[in-house]
Amino acid sequence: MLTLTFMPAGTSTGGLVLCNTSRSITELGVEVNHERVISIEHLATVLGGGAAALAQDFANQRNTISLRVRRGVDFTSPTPVAFADPEAAFLFALDQPAQFPGLGVLKIDVAGVTTTGTRYLLNTAVQRIQNKFEDLGIAPAFTYTFNGGLITDTSPF
């Protein structure tokens, strides 16, 4: 099970449920990328400080998470969402970016056969929402890419 909830900055309840599925994360094409943002100043510090400097944490983490959500299968609110026709799905796709106006927290709840947990991607923005037109229909698929800072198991709320 995977549930993703985007909590806009300044909120602690509710939020936008983007995925609530019993499908495996392998079926959703989940990708996680961890990066460090290194400025010229940081690079000079690292290179000038020898090997010990390479292990320093400059608190400049950037983490991206992307996944492919199929409407009507992976989204419940409380029932699966389908559209009357492809044109209604197309209009929904055009309205998606307006649903994520700024930064927030991405709450990630997982439950596997033996593993459960919750993580929070802090200072998150929706970087990309992609919908290929051949996927449109009454249950189109969306690829969401979230870009945030620190991933933590401590609730910010």
> According to the model, what pLDDT value does residue 140 have?
76
Provide the residue-wise pLDDT of the chain in tens; the chain has 157 residues. Answer: 889 899 988 887 888 888 888 888 888 888 888 877 666 565 555 555 554 444 444 456 789 999 888 776 776 665 666 778 878 888 888 887 777 778 999 999 999 889 999 999 999 998 888 887 666 666 778 888 999 988 999 999 8
> According to the model, what pLDDT value does residue 121 have?
93
> According to the model, what pLDDT value does residue 59 have?
56
pTM: 0.77
Residues 146 and 126: beta-carbon distance below 8 Å:
yes
DSSP per-residue codes, 51-110? HHHHT---S-EEEEEEEEEETTTS-BSSSB---SSHHHHHHHHHHGGGG--S-EEEEEEE
> According to the model, what pLDDT value does residue 20 have?
87
> According to the model, what pLDDT value does residue 115 have?
92
> According to the model, what pLDDT value does residue 56 have?
44
Quote the CA–CA distance of 19 and 31 in Å, as a whole number.
Answer: 15
